[in-house]
Amino acid sequence: MRTLFILLVAANVAFGAYVYLKEKAPNPDAQLVKAQLNADQIRIVPPPERKPAPASVPAPAAEPAVPAPAVACVEWGTFGGGELARAQIAIDRLALGDRVRRIEVPVTVDFWVYIPPMRSRPEMERKVNELINLGVGEYYPVLEPGRWRYAISLGIFRSEEGAKKFLATLRKKGIRSAVVGNREQRVSQSAFLLRTPSVEESASLVVLKSEFAGTELRAVECPAG
């Protein structure tokens, strides 16, 4: 009996404790209603955004090297015979200093001004003396055997226009026997090369060109040095 009594007392104590704790525990329904009443204070926090891994930035491409601009030169020519000495005097008057120099240019000439072949060398030599007395300083007696032996070359030209203009100057000196003819050949003639001319200097060269029949002005790349 004693044991049964003790068990009943323990069961009553346990039941009482259970009832007490149940009354003190919060009511889930009441918590839900309370949450609904304070819905305006609820904030939904989004999950943290995952940032993409930074893309590798390509290295800046190297800028292409800019070539240095080519230095401009002007070539005036070409000259052969007595015209070269006269052109040298004219270019010296421009006082261009060491920016201008004379160069040799290989050219193909198609025309020449000449006195036709004479019958003998003595006759040719008499004609040479006559030319000297008339003020012709440049001439070339042809002595090689062949069709042109004992002719006298007075000038060779790249264009027929230049040859005719030169012939006109000879006519003014009283030389009537000279003529213009075709004679293609490869020769070396002189020209003047001017480095980086100014506008005024270029204009002066244009004027000189008009005074020298058959010459040309052209822009060229300056040679090294």
The DSSP line for 27-69 is PHHHHHHHHHHTGGG--PPPPPP-PPPPPPPPPPPPPPPPPPP
Structure tokens at 10: 């323990």
Q: φ and ψ at 116, to 5 degrees?
A: -55, 160
Task: Specify the pLDDT at position 54.
Answer: 56
Distance, C-alpha 97 to centroid of its chain: 27
Determine how many CB atoms are found less than 10 A away from the CB of residue 124. Answer: 19
- 84-88, 174-178, 191-195, 209-213: range with lowest mean pLDDT: 209-213
Within 13 Å, how many C-alpha atoms sit on residue 126's CB side?
Answer: 7
Alpha-carbon distance 105 to 191, whole Å?
7
Structure tokens at 97: 């200093």
Determine how many CB atoms are found less than 10 A away from the CB of residue 160. Answer: 13
Structure tokens at 85: 């000495």
What rounded mean pLDDT belongs to the chain? Answer: 76
Task: Specify the pLDDT at position 57.
Answer: 56
Task: Specify the pLDDT at position 62.
Answer: 60
* 201 DSSP assignment: H
Please, which pLDDT band fits residue 225 given cuts at 50, 70 and 90? Answer: low
Task: Specify the pLDDT at position 86.
Answer: 86
Residues of the chain with pLDDT > 90, as a percent, come to 31
**74 sits in which H/E element:** strand 72-79
Task: Specify the pLDDT at position 61.
Answer: 60
Determine how many CB atoms are found less than 10 A away from the CB of residue 121. Answer: 12
Sign of the C-alpha dihedral, residues 81, 213, 183, 220?
Answer: positive
Provide the β-strand partners of residue 135. none
Burial class (CB in 10 A: 0-12, 13-18, 19+), 168: exposed
Task: Specify the pLDDT at position 149.
Answer: 94
Alpha-carbon distance 10 to 84, whole Å?
144
Task: Specify the pLDDT at position 81.
Answer: 64
Is the pLDDT score of 182 beyond 60?
A: yes
The full 3-state SS of 118-164, as one line of letters, equals CCCHHHHHHHHHHHHHCCCCCCEECCCCCCCCCCEEEEEECCHHHHH
Please, which pLDDT band fits residue 150 given cuts at 50, 70 and 90? Answer: very high
| Segments making up each domain of the chain, as ranges | 72-221
Residue found by looking up tokens 């261009």 in the block: 96
Mean pLDDT value of segment 151-156: 90
Task: Specify the pLDDT at position 75.
Answer: 92
Mean pLDDT value of segment 50-61: 57
